[in-house]
Structure 1
Amino acid sequence: MRARQPGQRRAPLSFAWRLMVSLGLVVLAGAVTVLGVALGVAPQIFGSHLRTAPGAPLEERVSAQVEGAFANAIVLSLGVAIPVGMLVAFAVSWLVAQRLGRSVAAVAVAADRIARGNLQARVEAPAIGPEFAQLADAFNSMAGRLAETESTRRRLIGDLAHELRTPLASLEATVEAVIDGVLPADVVTLDTLVDQTARLQHLVADMAAVSRAEERQLDLRPRVVEVASLASDAVLAATARFVAAGVRLELDIVGEPSKVRVDPQRIAEVLANLLDNALRHTPAGREVRVVVGPQRDTADDGVAMLKVTDTGGGFDPSDAERIFERFYRTDSSRTRTTAGTGIGLTIARAIVEAHDGTLTATSGGPGAGATFLIRLPRHPPARSDDRRAGLARRS
């Protein structure tokens, strides 16, 4: 056995040993308490019953001998029961401690694997109670989210590198051509450099915007406005672009006007992104429609609805969520654009969610058009007495 060096810290006991010792001390404390109470109280109670028993009172010598015999019986009984009970308690504690120790060790090992980069590490739910099963489920859920986040990060880096490659290559080629005398340093060449630089700046600005929006770090300045007013302003701002592209842009306001508490500039940015996305995917001669009002077949009176519907290329229904991912592209995807950075829908959803709303997309398939639905909490919310009245009417 290797001797412990001076100054070397003693290795701590394992969790199983510490738990077993703790439970053993509890059992020992309980046994000592029982023994002390029994010896202090039981003889007095027995003597009292003995003195009040029917028949002639016992002689003092006989009474003392009977009480002593009773005390000895208690001591012998507890002297046997306490060690046996402690042995059983230690055995049960050992089994429980071993199972708990293995479960805790498994979580620790899995956590260490995740810290070292193995995001596929998982733990099995131990059959020792719902609390530990809940802990295992929470750990596995956390590991899954970390793996998904890491996958998104890697894809984002790859997509961002791809997006940066084209303008950087164009800048490099143009500068080298000017240096080699192939291109003159005229206005056209300088305009090309300025355009590619602006594209890079636009990409960086959009990436910063979507990151702030997804992390709820937007500088929001909310105030109460009518949804119809927001839609009207967005349609008015986009009308010239739609006219130039030969696409009709219509605005429908259905039902009573709804008010929401939002940052008008941010929601205007959302609508501009949705309208630009619709315009890019809608051929000339067709239309894009903005609808403000209640959604059909909905019973949620506390939500204001705003839809942007087009008659363009549509998308596969299985891509309804993926089109909101950064730089996501498929041949039939709504995010394949001829201009922009390809994250306009990502920014739009992040801004809406920062206002405690939702932005969803639906389509009947390629060529069937698409609908983007914004749901925002109405202002003011339904009053409690209105809710009670509604419940009374339902009952």
Structure 2
Amino acid sequence: MNRLGLRGRLLVAQIVVLLVCCVTIAAVAVAIAAPLFHNHLAMAGIEDDNVRLHTEEAFSQTIFVALLSGIAVALVGASIAAVYVVRRITAPISRLAVAAQSVAEGKYDVHIEHSDVDSDFTRLEGAFSDMAERLDHSDRVRKRLLADLAHELRTPVSTLAAYVDGLEDGVLEADGTSWAVMRDQLERLRRLAHDLSDVSAADEHALDLILAADDLSDIVCSTTTAVAPRFEERAVTLSTATPAHPVRVRVDRQRIEQILSNLLENALRHTPGGGSVAVAVTESPDHISVAVSDTGEGIPEDQLESVFDRFHRGESSDGSGLGLTIARSLARAHGGSLTARPNPLGGTILELALPGQLASDT
């Protein structure tokens, strides 16, 4: 029985049920028809035993042949119907089993044709398709992340290995320059590990937000004040423009500060000495935005969207390549957006937009 599979078992079960029904119908017909016919002959006044005997034999043979013919026709017709029904029921199950086997083997790019057998089964097919798509997406993200990570780790690890070998062999001196280079590479690895933690949480939609009513202008001013010394060191002018009144929003203050820090760090990295970076908070009926404008070399038109890709770095970039990726993920977690566009004065404008419904008058 185990070799028959689900389709064979259902078919056998259908035939067994049909046979039981046919036998039951035949037994009931024989048990009732003969006595009932005998009573009808008696009521008709037929007293001749030979006539009654031949009549009852003819009736019994007729009933037998009719029942046998009916059962045969019913079995054939019902078998055909059973085969059709069983195949219609089991076909989507077979397809789902094949798809499940593919997923078990690590082949997540499967396509399941939705059937109309049953609403519950249709939901099952839809849920399985969604699961396969999520697994496929996670697998592609994992492979891309590992490839990008391997590429990103290669440079600092190779640099550290070269300096350690050079110090051991006496080729390099253990002076301030060597220690500074190695310390920079270690800091790069530390920053990369921290950024990877955030970007992994973003990929899994597991960014934790602690939302509270706050003043967006105060957040902007606090962030720009914290980074102002670095701008002074690079001789880059940093200016801030905010509304005179508080701009109340319901956000995670630390996460918004993280977004702004990434935007300002990116602007400083790409703005030469003597340039300027401006931060402006504006309000509109449907959203509140913070625009960070720089006068650096700008971003090519064809890279305005790709700058938000993981590990994307321009020619003059020395960061981890994850800052803007994390910033956009945090913006979207707040229900907002982060976009880039050319600055008419030269350079780039990165704009954080938060939906208007986050605003609060409290």
TM-score (norm 2): 0.73
Aligned-pair CA distance for 1:13: 2.6
Aligned positions of 1:1-395 closer than 5 A: 11-24=2-15, 61-62=43-44, 81=70, 84-120=73-109, 122-123=110-111, 125=113, 129=117, 139=128, 142-218=131-207, 220-243=209-232, 244-253=234-243, 257-260=247-250, 262-282=251-271, 284-294=274-284, 298=286, 304-311=287-294, 312=296, 313-316=298-301, 320=305, 322-329=306-313, 338-355=317-334, 357-363=335-341, 369-375=348-354, 378=357
| Cα distance in 1, alignment partners of residues 358 and 138 from structure 2 | 35
- Compared CA separation, residues 202 and 81, structure 1 to 2 (3 A): same
Aligned-pair CA distance for 1:199: 1.8
- Compared CA separation, residues 256 and 265, structure 1 to 2 (3 A): closer
Uncovered stretches (5+) of structure 2, i.e. residues with no partner: 46-51, 53-58
Once the two structures are overlaid, the 10-residue window that deviates more, 100-109 or 28-37, is 28-37
1:280-312: per-residue Cα shift (whole Å, max 9, x none)? Answer: 3345434433324226xx4xxxxx523324255
1:150-194: per-residue Cα shift (whole Å, max 9, x none)? Answer: 333222222212221221122112112211222222333333322
Aligned-pair CA distance for 1:219: 5.3
| Cα distance in 2, alignment partners of residues 230 and 41 from structure 1 | 93
Uncovered stretches (5+) of structure 1, i.e. residues with no partner: 1-9, 47-57, 299-303, 383-395
- Compared CA separation, residues 59 and 40, structure 1 to 2 (3 A): closer
| Cα distance in 1, alignment partners of residues 67 and 43 from structure 2 | 26
Once the two structures are overlaid, the 10-residue window that deviates more, 141-150 or 170-179, is 141-150
Contact in 1 for aligned 2:304/2:341 (Cα 8 Å): no
- Compared CA separation, residues 40 and 202, structure 1 to 2 (3 A): farther
Q: Which has the higher helix share?
A: 2
Q: Name the aligned partner's letter for residue 246 of structure 1.
A: V
| Cα distance in 2, alignment partners of residues 30 and 358 from structure 1 | 66
Aligned-pair CA distance for 1:269: 1.0
- Compared CA separation, residues 348 and 32, structure 1 to 2 (3 A): farther
| Cα distance in 1, alignment partners of residues 316 and 67 from structure 2 | 86
Query: Pairwise CA RMSD of aligned residues?
Result: 4.6
Question: 2:2 is paired with a residue of what secondary structure?
Answer: coil
Q: Name the aligned partner's letter for residue 339 of structure 1.
A: D
Aligned residues: 345
Question: 1:306 is paired with a residue of what secondary structure?
Answer: strand
Give aligned-pair identity as a percent.
Answer: 32
Q: Name the aligned partner's letter for residue 336 of structure 2.
A: T
Aligned-pair CA distance for 1:92: 1.9
